[in-house]
Each structure stands twice: as structure tokens, then as C-alpha cells.
Structure 1
Amino acid sequence: MSSSASGRGANELFFNAFEQNCVSLAYHGLWAHPDSGRFDYTRPAFWKDLARTLERGGFDSIFLADVVGVHDLYRGGYQTSVTHAMQTPGGDPSVLIPLMSAVTEHLGFVFTQSILQEPPFNFARRVSSLDHITEGRVGWNIVTSHLASAARNLGWPDLPEHDTRYAMAAEYLDICGELWQHSWAEDAVLRDKANRRYADPEKVRRIDYQGTYYQVPGPHLSEPSPQRTPVLFQAGSSEAGRQFAARNAEAIFLDSTTPLGARQIIDDVRRRAREAGRDPSRILFFQGLTFVVGGSDEEARAKDASYREYLNEEAFAAQLSSAAGQDISVVDLNTPLEKIRTNTQQGWLNSLRQSAPDQNWTLGQVLLWRRNRQIVGSPERLADELQKWKDAGVDGINVTPVISPGSFADFSDGLAPELRKRGLLKQHYRPGTLRQKLFGEGDRLATDHPVARGLNAR
């Protein structure tokens, strides 16, 4: 899909704000910085103010990450994670959506939920409810979990094998898709006061799904929401993850360390999507980046130096242990990534290996890997760097804050005006649902999407 067909400018990027309902999401230790407001993450005013800031800055959506277990491999327990508030404590991301949507008009809300976390029938109803209450501004980041502690918390004896989780995800999405798209006909809802008929039962059908992992008779309890199906996001970069994303994702998050690495992944996933019978231009790619914005390069470097004083390497090590599937406190930090084998975040490690072909990553280098995706400087310098990612084929940026809400205020008030001047950021929001804003072609899934086609048509 061309930029003009999607309703955006030829050089325009989309922007997500990467957040989590917790104290420390990515830049561990920065909650202690004097400018951080993270102690207020449990207060409604924090999230409402953040939503207003993001809409002022032209963000298309806020992407809410989540974990449902503790990072407990490092040094044999979760003490490090709790001490440094590394994604623990944390709250349910979806409860923030009605709060933020009430004070905004255009901002989208993409939330993370694992397929291990809840039966698909109940999840489908919750998503439809959120899509109704936000008037069509909801997206789902489909994850399969990577923490063994999360699997055990959710009633599993252990984390299912990696490719099994993706097979489960395929069934989970099939069920949700049948409920969202095909249980209620478009004209099932009558709202006929004269004849006292709210809906026509002949146009509400069961789905009678019988799979390997799930059995769901239906019908869906919710009437069709504005988008029916939320915008589908995914971040898998393992072999199984890329195949799943090429078949199902409308937007994909990238962790590439170079524009070249991003280009390679984009080309590969688009090829797979074409082979799966989808229009590859109906998939958007969002690269994760962090900005430290200053009025000048010197001012930005000084700000970054103040941030670096608060970074906590032990918290990073605890998070990396979960990604590697082993306690890295007992592993030589010079161990090449290619020698690590894991049943957890294969895609996360693969994306590091593959996104920078000219580098041989070691565990030690990865400890502060996020800083390789950090750009420090004046608005003009940051805009120059963003243009390189745009030229490589990236459609949008997933903006990770160093401190919150300060990093987003710096973006909205410092960087956004320069991006608008260069045509990299929209001047005004387009009307419609989140899907319409992203693709410019109505509220519903593309007709070639497997969920739109339905199980009976495949």
C-alpha cells in the first residue's frame, strides 16, 4: 500500500509510545532519577496526563507491554527484580485503556496479552468491550509468553515448548477471529423498539470450534464492535514467529540495531506474507528507538550523562537472564549469542544476531543493548537519524522512554515540531478508528487476511 493510498504523507512515520503499567519498563534504575514520575504509575492522573501528552505529540497509539511472571533466574531468584522494580511490581495494562481513552479523541491503545493468560472466549469478549468503549481504538499485541514463572502462575506445569506455543497461538487467534468476525452477522443487531427485538437470533451463530488445544462452541457474547477485530500486532522474529506474523500481523515490532538489519527482516516477512496470500503492503513495521532530546547536541549529551548515572546493570542482567533462559550470573559474559540455546525468547536473541550482520554479539555487549537503539541530540540530528530508518522501509517508530513521562514530553514539545516541519510526522490526525488511521481503508480487516476469510473459506 502506498503512502497516498493509506492517507498519510509520502515521508510520514507512525509513532507508538512504548509503556508498561509498572515502575521500570526498559531503562532500569531511572525511576530513581530526580525527573522521573514513575512513583505515580498507580495513580489515574499519571496515565491521563500521559495520554494527553502523547496526543499533543501526534502519537498514533500507546503500546502497553506486560509480563505475568517475575524475572527469577538471575542469581537463582527474584530478589534483584523486586529490589530494582524491574517490571515488578506491575498491573494489568488493559485497565488503563478506558481511563486514557476518556481524555483523548484519537490516540490508539495496543495492549499485550499472552495466549496462555486467559481462555480465548473470555478474551474475545473483553477486547470487543474495549473496542466499543474506545469507539474503535484498540489493538492487540499477540504474545506467547517467555517466562516460565508466568506459565506456572497461569496453571501450566512449565512453559510449553516454543513452537508449540505458536501452534496454540494460531488456534487462539482462529477462535477469537471466528467470534469477532463471523459469529454475528452485520445486520444481526436490529434495535427494533416497535417490535421489541434487539437482535435477530437467526443471524447469530455458534462457531463450534474443535481444535487440538481449545474447544469453544460460542456464540460470541458481544455484538460487533467498530473494528470487529482489534488491530493485530506481533513481535516474533524466530522462524515460527516470523511465519505467524507474516500470516496474521497487521503491524510488527522490530528490535533491529541498524537500518540494514531492519530492511532484511522487512523484506523477509513481506515475502512470507505474499506466499501466504496476503498483500504484504498491509503489514506495518515499527522499529524500537529511544530519543534523548536537547535544544542542542551538547544539551542532549549532558542530559544523557545524567541518565547514565542511574542505570542499574544488575537489573539489566536479571532481564537478560530471562531472555537467555539461564542465569547469566554464572555465564562468561564473553559467550557469543550463537552458542546460547533457549526455549524462551528465541526471537529476541535472533533479532540481535540478525539485525547487525557485521557484529558478533556477546552476552556482555547485550547487557546494555538498548543503548544501541538510543539517539541523543538536537531535534535536527534526531530527525536526520529517523530519516535513515524511514529510507530503510520502516513504517513507524516504537518510542521507548528513558524516564517517564519526561521523555514523552521532550518528544512532544521538542522533537515533534521538527518532525512535522520535515513531513515525518502528521500535521493533524485523520478521522476514524485505529485501523482506518493506520491503513486509510475503513474499519475492518483486509479481505485477504485469514481471520477475515474465516475458517470455512480456507
Structure 2
Amino acid sequence: MRKIHFNAFDMNCVGHIQQGLWTHPRDQSHRYGELTYWMDYARRLEAGLFDGIFLADVVGINDVYGGSADAALKGAVQVPVNDPMLLVPAMAAVTQHLGFGITANLTYEPPFLFARRISTLDHLTGGRIGWNIVTGYLDSAAKAIGLNAQAAHDDRYDLADEYMDIVYALWEGSWADDAVRFDRATGVYADPARVQKIQHAGKQYRLDAMHLCEPSPQRTPVLYQAGSSTRGREFAATHAECVFVNGQKLDGVKAIVDDIRSRAIGCGRQADDIKVFLGATIVTGRTEKEAWEKFEDYRRHVSSEAALVHAAASLGIDFARYDLDEPIETGKSSAIISNVEAMTRSAGPQWTKRKLLDQMVLGSRQAPMVGSAEQIADQLAAWVENASIDGFNLSRTVVPECFEDIIGLVIPILQERGLYKTAYEPGTLRDKLFGASRLPNRHIAKRHRFGEP
């Protein structure tokens, strides 16, 4: 029986997805700058047998709404935001099994230095690192590094394909598996004949260097990707092992999942080489009445303006320009195209700010699941069964109680039904998800391995 996977979905900031809930008196997200907060967080998730914590990130500010960052700053809409990578060693030190999915924007990261940081984290965590591959969607991020604007949507994916060639070559091909000798008697640590330079001369990047790190437990981190546009699905089918999807309707999600897996088979992979995680928000209690009372309590703290600020940035539309019932022109966006497509599927081809706000009942476009623990377990099981997904990226609402509710109320029911693990499997993050520490030979990275022609 297929087991459901859970990731906690969060960000190293105050306001992540459910905008405004940081104002709730029980919410602790304002402690995001304290290392003990994240260490306690990791311990709690591991006690609940979560597969991992998936940390989002942005390197720009949400300044599309009203043409300025004022509303984002006032509402703490993903700003201030700290680097997610620096949290990992501390969280890893107090856990043994929890995985860490780290978002890093390849558009603004030199591949040579990025590859070293990921290998370092894979060593320090004993092979528990995943990388959420993103290409960005904010012009403010491009301007922060001296560009006038970000590249067009599909062009960013073209750059990403070249970037992946380089990091695969560094992780998989610079050091042979037997390069490290660690021979005290002869004083030889690594055999120079088993370490080679990686040479690349492409449209965007040039490289002539050997990887600075010896092979880490996974070599290549577990590869996450969240693009559901046509070009994003093509990229996911080629590279991703875990795909993060959002959607309001089951049929729409299943169509995306089936398409990605079909494309993966076309790339010489197997359908089960890809695990799909659906973004979900859960509000639950011991009874349905308790859950709805909690939902109404949370709802009083939602910020509609902050929700629009976040939506404006990810959809590439300045909602401040529109009246509540004025038809919204989506146009050609260079933001997250799949978000625009998902919004059109849920609100119809002619949507308005009022329609959008009607869906953002907890401060995001993600419609929450509300109900007793039994009802939530039923809904999760139905999604897995009918949409062919493998698990969920669970957005925080009021922390830590939102995860305590899932761990204490929902997971025991799933375990009783045989739908959730009762213990961790040994090994790396990839071992736990796929049964092997290294990428399979049918993955595109194989052609970059040491000794491959």
C-alpha cells in the first residue's frame, strides 16, 4: 500500500503563504531569526515522521502591487527573509532522518560555488539534502544584481538546462567513486588520476575547474521542481525527482501529474521516478466543530491586502490598479505562468479581484482543507488515490500548533489505515524516497558521470 509523504512547507521569514496569520497571538513565526526556533521545529517534525521541511526562498521583494514595496514591508509579505541554507546544519544536528529541501535560484548563483555549497550540506547532513530548482519570477531580484529585468519565462528554463549540465558534471563527474584513498601509510588522500577538471563552454556559462568536494553521500541532491507551465513540465520531466504542484481542482492536478509522468517516460525514465507533492493547507481538530471554530479564529487575522501583494508578484499583475469587480487583464506575464493558468482554471477566463479575494480565505490562493482529523485523513487519501500524487507540502498557518495538530491528530489515523509510515527507513533522503542513494542510470545526469563517454 502506497504511503503518503509529508513535507512542512515554510520559509525563513515571518509571512510565507497564509498572509496575515503572523498577527495571531499564538503564532511564533516572528522568531524566525532564532536558531533555537528552527532546531525545535526540526525535532517536532522528526517526531511526527515528516519526510522533510521544504524551505521556499525569494531573492527579490514583492513590489508589483502598487508599484512599490510599501505594502509588502507593512504586511511582512516574504520580507524580511533570511537565507534558508544557513538553517540546515543546526536542524540536521538535532535530527537523524528529517530531509531538507532548499530553494535556490540558479539564475543568480554561479554554478561552481553553488555546487560546492550543496555538496557541503550533503556531507554535513549525511545525505539529507534536496534542491528546489527555481529560475525566479521577480524583476526586483534581477535589478538587485544589476540587470534591468528578468529574462523571459522560457528563456530562464533554457538557461536552467545549461546550468544543470554543469552542476551534474561537477557532482557526478569530477571525482570517481574510488578517488579518495585516505591512505595514512603512503600519505595519499586522493588519487589525482581519479579526479578530473570539468570543462564547459556554453551560451551562458564557461567553466574549467574540478569540483572542490569529494563525493557526498548522494552526490547530486534530491531534485525538486515546481514549474507546471508547459516549459516547466518539460524541465521537470527531464530533471526532477519530486515535483511540487498547486491547484484547486482534482482533475486539473491529475492532468498535470499525468502529463509530467508521460513526458518523463518519453525521456527514458519511469513514471515512479517522480514523486508529486501537492501544496495543501490544513486546519483540523478533534471534531469538525472544533476545526471550524479554529478556522474562524485564524480567519480574523488574515490580511487581504497582504494576500493581494503576494498574488500580484507571483502572477505578475498589479491588483492595486483594479476595482473589485473590474475584469482583470492577465496579458503576457514573465512571472509564474502556471499560477496564472491555475487561477484561470479555478476562477474562469474572466476573473476579478473580488473572485480572487473570495478564494483567499486564509490569506492565499490555496483553499484550505477544514475538518475533523478523520475528515482530513479522508481528503488526503482521496487526493492520493484519485490524482496520482504521492504526498503533500503542508503550508503553515499558525505555528507550531498547525503541525502539532497534524502530528497528534491526523497522522495516527493515517497510520491506522496503513497510509503513513510508522518508522523511518535508513539511509539518505533519496534512499527514503526512492530506495537508492544515487540517481538511477536512466536519469539525464548519468551522461556526466566519471568515466562515461
TM more than 0.5: yes
- Please state if 1:403 is matched with 2:398: yes
Q: Which residue in the other structure is 1:6 paired with?
A: none
Match of residue 368 from structure 2: 374
Structure-2 separation of matches of 1:334 and 1:340: 18
Of the three residues 385, 401, 420, the one matched with 1:391 is 385
Q: Identify if the C-alpha distance between structure 1 residues 100 and 373 changes in structure 2 by more than 3 Å, giving closer, same or farther.
A: same
> In 1, Cα distance between the equivalents of 2:440 and 2:211?
21
Q: CA deviation at 1:155?
A: 2.8
In structure 2, do the counterparts of structure 1 residues 398 and 21 end up closer, same or farther at CA, with 3 Å as the change threshold?
same
Give the Cα–Cα distance (whole angstroms) in 2 for the partners of residues 69 and 421 of structure 1.
Answer: 44
Q: Within the alignment, does 1:150 sit opposite 2:144 as a pair?
A: no
C-alpha distance in 1 between matches for 2:324 and 2:134? 28
* 2:34 partner letter: R
User: Structure 1 residue 57: deviation in Å?
Assistant: 1.2
Count of paired positions: 447
Pairwise CA distance, 1:423? 1.7
Structure 1 residue 26, shift from structure 2 partner? 0.9
Q: CA deviation at 1:207?
A: 1.2
Residue 386 of structure 1: CA displacement? 0.6
Task: Give the root-mean-square deviation of aligned CA atoms.
Answer: 1.8
- For residues 371 and 59 of structure 1, the distance between their equivalents in structure 2, rounded to whole angstroms, comes to 24
- Identity level (%): 43
Gaps of 5+ in 2: none
Give yes or no for contact 1:242–1:269 (8 Å, CA) kept in 2: yes
Match of 1:34 in 2: 25
* Distance in 1 (alpha carbons) for counterparts of 2:440 and 2:328: 38
Contact kept? 1:255, 1:352, Cα under 8 Å: no
Is residue 171 from structure 1 mapped to residue 162 from structure 2 by the alignment?
A: yes
Aligned match of 1:58? 49
SS for the counterpart of 1:36 is: coil
Q: Corresponding residue for 1:183? A: 174
From 430, 441, 451, the equivalent of 1:435 is 430
Equivalent residue in structure 1 for 2:238, among 223, 239, 247:
247
Deviation digits for residues 99-146 of structure 1 (CA, Å, limit 9, x no counterpart): 100111100000000012210000000000000000000000000000
Looking at structure 2, the residues matched to 156 and 198 of structure 1 have their Cα atoms a distance apart, in angstroms, of 43
Q: Post-superposition shift, 1:446? A: 1.2
Q: Is the 8 A contact 1:237 1:350 kept in 2?
A: no
Matched, 1:453 2:444: no
- Displacement, 1:151? 1.1
- Alignment of 1:284 with 2:279, yes or no, is no
Q: CA-to-partner distance for each residue in 1:212-255, whole Å, 9 max, x for gaps?
A: 00011121000000000000000001111111001000010010
Q: Is the 8 A contact 1:131 1:138 kept in 2?
A: yes
Deviations 1:375-404 (A, max 9, x none): 111110000101110112110111011112
- Equivalent position of 1:12 in the other structure: 3
Please give the secondary structure, in 2, of the residue aligned with 1:140. strand
Measure the CA separation in 1 of the matches of 2:224 and 2:285: 32
Q: Post-superposition shift, 1:413? A: 1.4
Distance in 1 (CA, whole Å) between partners of 2:170 and 2:32 is 34
Q: Which residue of 2 aligns with 1:214?
A: 205
2:409 — aligned with what? Answer: 414
Amino acid at match of 2:448: G
Is the Cα–Cα contact under 8 Å of residues 315 and 335 in structure 2 kept in the other structure?
yes
Amino acid across the alignment from 1:341: K
Conserved? CA contact 2:317–2:330, under 8 Å: no
- State the shift of 1:336 in Å: 6.2
Tell me, in whole angstroms, the C-alpha distance in 2 between the residues paired with 1:279 and 1:63. Answer: 24
String of CA shifts for 1:414-453, please: whole Å, max 9, x gaps.
Answer: 211111111221111110100010011x200011110123
Report the Cα offset of residue 36 of structure 1: 0.3
Q: Where do residues 253-402 of structure 1 align in structure 2 (5 Å cutoff)?
A: 253-334=244-325, 339-354=330-345, 356=346, 361-367=351-357, 368-369=359-360, 370=364, 372-392=366-386, 393-402=388-397
Letter in 2 for 1:266: V
Aligned to 2:89: 98
Which range moved further: 417-426 or 179-188? Answer: 417-426
Q: Using a 3 Å threshold, how does the CA distance of structure 1 residues 360 and 436 change in structure 2: closer, same or farther?
A: farther
Q: CA deviation at 1:412?
A: 1.1
1:196–1:372 Cα change, 3 Å: closer
* Cα pair 1:324 1:340 within 8 Å, conserved: no
AA matched with 2:132: N
Aligned mates of 2:167, 2:355 — CA distance in 1: 40
Distance, in Å, in 1 between the alignment partners of 2:370 and 2:316 is: 32
Aligned equivalents of 2:41, 2:149: Cα separation in 1: 37
Of 307-316 and 333-342, more deviation after overlay is shown by 333-342
Task: Name the SS for the 1:252 alignment partner.
Answer: strand
Question: What whole-Å deviation, never above 9, does each CA across 1:236-286 have from its counterpart, x for those lacking one?
Answer: 011111110010000100102122222111111111111111112100000
Q: Output the CA distance in 2 between the equivalents of 1:281 and 1:338.
A: 39
Alignment of 1:42-121 (within 5 A): 42-121=33-112
TM-score normalised over the length of structure 1: 0.94
For 1:376 and 1:177, locate their aligned partners in 2 and report how far apart those are by CA, in whole Å: 42
Q: Distance between the aligned counterparts of 1:87 and 1:191, measured in 2?
A: 45
1:7 is aligned to none
Q: Distance in 2 between the 1:366 and 1:321 partners? A: 11
User: What TM-score do the two structures reach when normalised by structure 2?
Assistant: 0.95
What does residue 3 of structure 1 align with?
none
* Per-residue CA distance 1:334-369 (angstroms, 9 max, x = gap): 466784320111122223335x59886544333444
- SS in structure 2 at match of 1:288: strand
Q: What is the CA–CA distance in structure 2 between the aligned matches of 1:136 and 1:24, rounded to whole Å?
A: 29
Structure-1 separation of matches of 2:180 and 2:125: 20
Deviations along 1:309-355, one digit per CA (max 9) or x if unpaired, are: 0000110111111122231111355466784320111122223335x
Give, in whole Å, the separation in 2 of the partners of 1:378 and 1:422.
16
String of CA shifts for 1:44-74, please: whole Å, max 9, x gaps. 1110111011111111010000011111121
Paired residue for 1:162, among 145, 150, 153?
Answer: 153
